[in-house]
C-alpha cells in the first residue's frame, strides 16, 4: 500500500492478504483463552480498575502465552488522538537538522507522543505531499520547516484541529505559529563585524532568495553595508547557489575580479564549508564569517568566525508551542524570533589584505 496513491504495491499483495498482521492475536483471542469477556481483557491491558487479581492473572497469562500486543491503530480510531506528531524538514542528513529533530523528539516523548518525520528535499510539492500524508494519518500536530511559500493547503487541516508550528521559515499565505532565528539581525551583525575590522569589499554567498532565511540574511548584509555607507557591487553577491561546485566558482569569481572582495559572508553552513576550502587554497588572506556554526570550526587555521543559531532550541521551542496548542493553552498564532550569537574565532577578524 502506498501512502500517496493508496494503491497496493503489487509484489506484496500475494503474500500478505492471507496473512493479515501475520495473524496476530486480538483481545478476542485473549478473552477466549482466558475464559473472560472482551472488555475485561481491555481493562487489564489498560490497567483500568475493576478486575479481581485472580481474573487479571488469568488474562495476563493468556496475553503472554499468545504474545498479544494491543493494536494501536484500532485504539487510535476509537479514541481520536494518535499520540504522534509529524516533522517535515528539508534534509535529515544536514547537520543543522539533526539536533533540531532530536529536540522535537524529546519534547514529543515527554508528552507521550511518537515522531513521524519526512524530508522535503526543499521541494514544495514534496512538502505538501508529506504534510498531507501525515494529516491523513491524523497526527495530532505538525512541525514544518517550509520548503514552499504557499501553505493555504493546510487551512482545512488547521481548522480541523491539527496543531501546527512552522520553524526556521515562516508559513506562506496563512497565519500560523512560527519560530525563527533572527537571520536578518544575525547577518547584519556578522557583516558589521567584518566592516568593523576594516573591510569594505565584502562578498555574500547565499541560497535562493525565495527561501526566507536566505532572503533575510541577504537583507541583513545589505543593511549592514548601507549602515556603513558602502555601495554594494553586483559582482559581490551570489544568490541561489548551494551545491559545492557552484559555490566554489562563485567564491573564486569574487576573489578574482577587478575589485576583488577582501572578506566573504557565507549564508549557511554548507556554503561556509565550501568557502573555507576555497580560502584554504587561496594565496591572499581573506576574512570569512559564516551563518550557522560548524563542527571543528575552532580547530581550523584560522578558526572560523560564525553567526551561530541554536538548532536544538528552535526545535524545542516549536515543539513546546505545539503541545501548548494541543493543551488548549495557546490561542493566537505568534511569531517567535530567537537571537543568534556571533562567535569570533579568527577568520572574521583578519584585516583586509589589499
Q: Which is nearer to a second copy, 118 or 260 (CB)?
A: 118
Supply the minimum distance, in Å, between the C-beta of residue 49 and DNA.
6
Asked whether the beta carbons of 204 and 236 are under 8 A apart, the reply is yes
Query: Which lies closer to a second copy via its Cβ, residue 71 or residue 259?
Result: 71
Quick one: 36 or 191, whose CB is closer to DNA?
A: 36
Where is 180: in which H helix or E strand?
A: strand 177-181
Of residues 36-55, which lie at the interface with a second copy (CB under 8 A)? 45-47
The single residue among 16, 26, 240, 260 that binds DNA, judged by CB under 7 A, is 26
Distances (CA, A) of 304 to 32, 237, 279, 288, 352: 68, 20, 11, 7, 16
By CB under 7 A, residue 71 contacts DNA: yes
Q: Which of 247, 329, 227, 334 is nearest to 288 (CA)?
A: 247
Choose from DNA, a second copy, none: what does 14 bind? Cβ within 5-8 Å by kind: a second copy
Quick one: what does residue 55 bind among a second copy, DNA, none, with the CB cut-off 5 to 8 Å set by partner type?
DNA
Among 5, 52, 283, 329, binds DNA (CB under 7 A): 52
CA–CA distance, 11 with 333 (Å, rounded to integer): 46
Should residue 84 be labelled a site residue for DNA when binding is judged by CB under 7 A?
no
What is the β-pairing status of strands 177-181 and 202-206? unpaired
Sheet containing strand 341-343, strands side by side: 237-239, 202-206, 263-266, 287-291, 305-308, 341-343
32 binds, among DNA, a second copy, none (CB under 5 to 8 A by kind): none
Of 225, 234, 223, nearest to 199 by C-alpha is: 225
- In whole angstroms, the minimum distance from the beta carbon of 234 to DNA comes to 54
Q: By the criterion CB under 7 A, which residues form the site for DNA?
A: 6, 20-21, 24, 26-28, 31, 35-40, 42-43, 45-46, 49-52, 54-55, 68, 70-71, 74-75, 77-79
Amino acid at each position: 500500500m502506498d501512502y500517496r496513491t493508496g494503491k497496493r504495491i503489487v509484489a506484496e499483495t500475494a503474500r500478505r492478504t492471507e496473512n493479515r498482521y501475520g495473524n496476530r492475536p486480538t483481545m478476542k483471542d485473549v478473552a477466549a483463552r482466558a475464559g473472560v469477556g472482551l472488555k475485561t481483557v481491555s481493562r487489564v491491558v489498560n490497567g483500568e480498575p475493576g478486575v479481581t487479581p485472580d481474573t487479571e492473572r488469568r488474562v495476563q497469562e493468556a496475553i503472554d502465552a499468545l504474545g498479544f500486543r494491543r493494536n494501536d491503530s484500532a485504539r487510535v480510531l476509537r479514541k481520536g488522538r494518535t499520540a504522534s506528531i509529524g516533522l517535515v524538514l528539508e534534509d535529515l542528513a544536514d547537520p543543522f537538522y539533526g539536533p533540531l529533530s532530536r529536540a522535537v523528539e524529546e519534547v514529543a516523548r515527554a508528552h507521550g507522543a511518537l515522531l513521524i518525520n519526512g524530508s522535503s528535499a526543499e521541494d514544495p510539492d514534496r512538502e505538501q505531499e508529506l504534510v498531507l500524508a501525515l494529516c491523513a494519518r491524523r497526527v495530532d500536530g505538525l512541525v514544518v520547516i517550509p520548503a514552499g511559500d504557499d501553505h493555504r493547503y493546510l487551512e482545512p487541516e488547521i481548522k480541523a484541529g491539527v496543531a501546527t508550528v512552522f520553524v526556521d521559515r515562516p508559513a506562506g499565505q496563512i497565519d500560523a505559529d512560527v519560530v525563527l532565528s533572527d537571520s536578518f539581525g544575525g547577518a547584519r551583525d556578522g557583516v558589521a563585524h567584518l566592516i568593523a575590522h576594516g573591510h569594505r569589499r565584502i562578498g555574500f554567498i547565499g541560497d535562493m532568495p525565495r527561501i526566507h532565511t536566505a532572503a533575510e540574511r541577504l537583507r541583513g548584509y545589505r543593511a549592514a553595508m548601507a549602515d556603513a555607507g558602502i555601495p554594494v557591487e553586483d559582482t559581490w553577491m551570489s544568490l541561489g547557489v548551494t551545491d559545492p561546485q557552484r559555490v566554489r566558482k562563485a567564491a573564486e569569481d569574487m576573489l578574482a575580479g577587478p575589485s576583488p572582495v577582501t572578506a566573504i559572508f557565507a549564508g549557511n553552513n554548507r556554503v561556509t564549508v565550501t568557502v573555507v576550502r576555497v580560502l584554504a587554497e587561496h594565496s591572499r588572506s581573506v576574512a570569512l564569517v559564516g551563518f550557522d556554526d560548524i563542527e571543528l570550526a575552532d580547530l581550523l587555521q584560522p578558526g572560523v568566525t560564525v553567526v551561530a543559531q541554536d538548532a536544538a532550541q528552535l526545535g524545542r521551542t516549536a515543539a513546546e508551542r505545539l503541545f501548548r496548542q494541543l493543551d488548549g493553552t495557546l490561542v493566537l498564532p505568534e511569531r517567535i524570533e530567537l537571537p543568534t550569537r556571533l562567535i569570533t574565532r579568527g577568520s572574521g577578524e583578519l584585516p583586509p589584505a589589499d
